[in-house]
A and B are shown apart, each in its own frame.
Chain A
Amino acid sequence: MTTALIVDDSRVSRMMIRAIISDAKPDWNIIEAESGDDALSAIDNETPDVMILDYNMPGMNGLTLGEKLKDKFPGGKISLLTANIQDSTQKKAAELGIAFVGKPITDEKIRGIIQASEI
C-alpha cells in the first residue's frame, strides 16, 4: 500500500490535499502532520512514498525537513509546496533533489505530484 505524508501548519491546506489524494487514490494511506517535529515522530513506523511539505512552518522549515526525510527514505518522492516563489527557494529545493510546487493548492498540482510518484 502507498503511504502519503502531508506536512502543513494550515489545517485547511492539509484537508484540501487529503481530499484531492483520497479522491484520486482512495486506497492510499494518508498521514498528516502540522510541523516538522510532528512529522518525524508520526513516521516512526511508516515508510512514506509520497511526501508533500509546506515551506513556511513554525519551527523547522520545509527544506530542513525535506533534507532529513531524504536521508531516511531515499526512495520517497518529496515535493515542496509553498507560497514562497522566489528563485532562491526554488534553487535550494532543486539542489536537494526536491520538487518545487507553487501554492495555491489546486487539483491539477496535487494530481501532478501523484502521477510523478508513479513513474
Chain B
Amino acid sequence: MTKKNLQNTSSVHTELLISVMDYCLHGTIVIDENYRVIFWNQWMEKYTEIKSITAVDEQLFTLFPHLMGKRIQWAIDDALNRGNSAALSQTLNNAPLPLHSGMNKNEAVKQAIFIKPIGIQGENRFCVIQVQDVTSSLRREKLLRDTANKAEDAKIAAEKLTEVKTEFISTVSHELRTPLTSILGSLGLLCGGAVGNLSAQVSSLINLAHRNSQNLLALINDLLDIDKIESGKMDFVFANMKVTPFLEESILRNSGFASKHNIQFNITPAQDDVDVCADGNRLMQVMSNLLSNAAKFSPKGGAVEISTTLTNNKVRISISDHGLGIAEDFQPHLFEKFTQVDSSNTRQVNGSGLGLSITKAIIEQHDGNIGFNTTLGEGSTFYFELPVITTNADIRKACN
C-alpha cells in the first residue's frame, strides 16, 4: 500500500466514525481542556437548535452560561484535571442542558448526562459529554408512582370505611337492644296475663308482637356477635368437658324447636365418651344454631339425628335432617354473612342469615372445623370436629 492510499483509508475511516457519532441516538459533545467545543452531533443540533457550525470552536460556557459553577462544570473539571468519569442523573440535576424536543417546545427534555475524559497521545486532554433523553421513561415511572399512590389511598379509604361500618353496627345494635329488652319484658307480662285476661283478638296481636320482638332481639344479638368476632373481642372461657352429657343437654335446651316444628331429635351416643376443651356457652350456641336449622328445614313429623364419631384424635358431631337439601349454587355461600336460602318453599323460615358464619367462627376458635354434606331431595348433614383431649398435658396446652 502506498502512503497516499493509507492516508485515504484513514480519512475514510475518520469520516465514517464522524457519521456514526453524528447519527447516534444520544447527544454527543466533545470539548478540549479550554472547554472549546470540537464536536457537536446532529442530535445536539436537533435538541438545542444550535448548528454544529455555530457550536464548534465556541466555549461550552459561552453557549450555556447558566451551567457555570454548577455540578456539570465540577464534573467536567474533574474529568479534564483528574481523569474522573461522571454520571449526572435527571433526579439530582433536573435537566441542566436547555434541550427541547419537537413534541413539546415548552417543556425541557429530561436528561441523563455522562461525562468521560479522553486523552490522545498522553498530553492532550478532551472530554466527551453524552446526553440521553429520558423524558418518556420518566413519564412511565411517574405513571407507576401515581398508580402506587392511588392504590395506597384506596386501601386506606376502604379500611376507614370498614371501620366506620363496624362501629355503626355496634353502636346501633347496643342502642336498639336496651329499649327492645324492655318492650319484650312488657309484652311477656301481657302474654302471661299479668294485667288480667285479654280478649282473643288483643291476645293474638300481643303474641304476634312478642314473637317478632324475640326475632328482632335474636338478630341484634347475632349482629353483636359478628361484630365481636370481627373485632377480635369475643371472649372465650375454655374448660375441659365430656361430649355426651353436653349433647344431651343441648337437645333438652332446644326441645322448644322440636315441638314447634313437630319433629324429633334422636341422639346416637358414642360408645366411648371423650373430653374436649371448649367454652360450654359458645358451643351451646353452635348446637342451638345447627339444631334449629335442622328443625326448620325438616318435613313435619320427621326426625333429626345427632351422632358422634371418633377419628384421628378428633371427635365429629353430626346433625342430619331429611329436608330438601341445599342447592349446588348456594353451597359455596353457606357460611358467608347475611346469606339464607331464598326459595319460595322456605320463605316462611326466619333467621338473621348470620347464624352459620357465627357458628363457623366459634368452631374455628376451638381449633376445630365445620362442614356439611347434602343431597337434593334427601337432606343435609352438618358436622363439626373438635380435637380430643387425651392427657393432662393436652388439657393444659389446649385450655391455656
- A and B touching (C-beta < 8 Å)? no
Which B residues contact A (CB, under 8 angstroms)? none
Which A residues contact B (CB, under 8 angstroms)? none
